[in-house]
């Protein structure tokens, strides 16, 4: 017995065992695992005492979409496997025209498609324009109901200046400074041929906490929910803030019975959790629980320096209550590469996950937009996620 205790202490000191044995239910494990004998057994891809940390692994430096060498910056990347050719991967990403850096995302951002034939990590090569400037924040899902890909994004077409500068314009209610407010929808049968459906959820010209809406992140409920009539087809997570974004940025959900809307705010008077954040990414796990990754705007994160930029939130029902895990950090600004190279990024935002294709919803890759300290350019970084069992 004494020997066991000493071994346990040693293992715990070495970080081989959880240091506190504190769970009583699955909520204590962030719904990212089960609680067994007061210890969280995390699902593959998640780690830490409360399964609140992504099990990020060193990956290759040649990954994602990094065109900063030739002067092109990008942001907001999302990976999709081709439905017909399983060896082909698409990256839907926003990049900035005229060689403009991240400070000029508005109005220079446009949405493009890039391809990789060397696996989902990339590197990806530019293939086509999808939406011209100003278009930003693409998030794409395959809709079984529509039998189409749906792309949710922000923006409206603008004649951009010939040199990098900010201009004041609006894409509708909620913001007259940089056109960020209002969510648009595009559809495509194949990711190649896109049709615009215009703005499907505008902001508002009132004093609502979320008059200015951006950062769309859609979720279509999986087929097992469809038998229950009360469920909406589309759930849309978004970031709200007061008019002209003159106050706290927080997360809310909107729901619609058809993908083209109308979309109704789930909580008209308050966000789904009281923690400042943006860039939500939402998914449903194999147990039917709901999860979000967000870019945290708490004091130890925000726009630059970080380091605790990535946070996780979870709920048993999409309607909530949602719990924001403010104890653990899902990912930080530090990235270790497989050659030992370490980068502490200035900004690391816009998280999205690429899941295993076996229905287990195991996160296998983390996509983020990154900007280096002192760097004007930004690029799309993709990092592998391990099986959660440690190295």
| Interface contacts to ligand NAG, rule CB under 6 A | 61, 66, 68-69, 166, 168, 176-178, 193, 195, 243-244, 246, 326-327, 379
Q: Which residues contact 274 (CB under 8 A, 6 or more apart)?
A: 250
Q: How many CA atoms, within 13 angstroms, populate the side-chain half-sphere of residue 117? A: 2
Cβ-based nearer residue to ligand NAG, 133 or 221: 133
Q: Please, what is the minimum distance in Å from the beta carbon of residue 286 to ligand NAG?
A: 28
Cβ-based nearer residue to ligand NAG, 194 or 355: 194
3-state secondary structure of 366: strand
Cβ-based nearer residue to ligand NAG, 221 or 293: 293
Cβ-based nearer residue to ligand NAG, 255 or 366: 366
Cβ-based nearer residue to ligand NAG, 186 or 281: 186
Q: Please, what is the minimum distance in Å from the beta carbon of residue 343 to ligand NAG?
A: 7
Q: Please, what is the minimum distance in Å from the beta carbon of residue 178 to ligand NAG?
A: 5
Cβ-based nearer residue to ligand NAG, 67 or 217: 67
Q: Residue 358: left (phi > 0), alpha (psi -120 to 50), or beta?
A: alpha
Q: Please, what is the minimum distance in Å from the beta carbon of residue 3 to ligand NAG?
A: 35
Q: Please, what is the minimum distance in Å from the beta carbon of residue 211 to ligand NAG?
A: 8
The two structure tokens encoding residue 263 = 């979309």
Q: Please, what is the minimum distance in Å from the beta carbon of residue 206 to ligand NAG?
A: 9
Cβ-based nearer residue to ligand NAG, 65 or 355: 65
- Listed residue (295, 263, 301, 290) closest to 280, CA to CA: 295
CA gap 68, 308 in Å, rounded = 25
Q: Which residues contact 183 (CB under 8 A, 6 or more apart)?
A: 152, 153, 154, 199, 200, 201, 202, 213, 214, 216, 236, 238, 263
Pairing of strands 135-143, 148-155: antiparallel
Do the Cβ atoms of 24 and 38 come closer than 8 Å?
Answer: yes
Q: Please, what is the minimum distance in Å from the beta carbon of residue 375 to ligand NAG?
A: 8
Do the Cβ atoms of 64 and 124 come closer than 8 Å?
Answer: yes
């Amino acid at each position: 017995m004494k020997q066991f205790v000493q071994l346990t202490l040693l293992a715990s000191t070495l970080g081989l065992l959880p240091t506190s044995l504190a769970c009583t239910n699955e909520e204590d494990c962030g719904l990212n695992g089960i609680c067994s004998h007061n210890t969280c057994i995390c699902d593959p891809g998640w780690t830490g005492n409360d399964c609140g940390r992504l099990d990020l692994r060193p990956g290759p430096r040649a990954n994602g979409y990094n065109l900063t060498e030739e002067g092109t910056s990008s942001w907001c990347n999302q990976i999709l496997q081709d439905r017909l050719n399983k060896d082909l991967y698409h990256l839907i990403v926003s990049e900035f025209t005229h060689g403009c850096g991240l400070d000029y995302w508005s109005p220079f951002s446009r949405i493009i498609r890039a391809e990789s034939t060397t696996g989902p990590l990339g590197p990806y090569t530019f293939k086509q324009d999808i939406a011209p400037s100003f278009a930003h924040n693409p998030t794409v899902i395959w809709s079984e109901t529509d039998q189409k890909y749906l792309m949710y994004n922000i923006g409206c077409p603008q004649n951009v200046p010939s040199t990098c500068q900010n201009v004041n314009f609006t894409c509708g209610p909620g913001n007259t400074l940089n056109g960020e407010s209002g969510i648009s929808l595009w559809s495509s049968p194949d990711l190649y041929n896109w049709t615009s459906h215009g703005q499907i959820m505008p902001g508002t010209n009132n004093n609502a906490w979320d008059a200015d809406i951006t950062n769309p992140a859609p979720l279509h409920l999986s087929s097992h929910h469809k038998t229950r009539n009360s469920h909406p087809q589309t759930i849309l997570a978004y970031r709200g803030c007061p008019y002209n974004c003159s106050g706290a940025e927080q997360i809310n959900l909107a729901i619609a019975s058809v993908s083209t809307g109308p979309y109704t705010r789930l909580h008209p008077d308050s966000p789904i959790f009281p923690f400042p954040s943006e860039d939500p990414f939402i998914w449903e796990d194999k147990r039917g629980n709901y999860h979000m990754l967000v870019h945290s705007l708490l004091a130890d994160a925000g726009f630059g320096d970080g380091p605790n930029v990535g946070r996780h939130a979870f709920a048993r029902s999409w309607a909530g209550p949602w719990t924001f895990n403010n104890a653990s950090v899902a990912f930080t600004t530090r990235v270790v590469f497989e050659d030992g190279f370490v980068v502490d990024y200035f900004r690391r935002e816009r998280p999205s996950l690429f899941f295993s294709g076996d229905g287990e919803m195991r996160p296998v890759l983390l996509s983020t937009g990154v900007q280096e300290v002192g760097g004007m350019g930004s690029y799309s970084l993709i990092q592998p996620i391990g099986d959660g069992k440690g190295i």
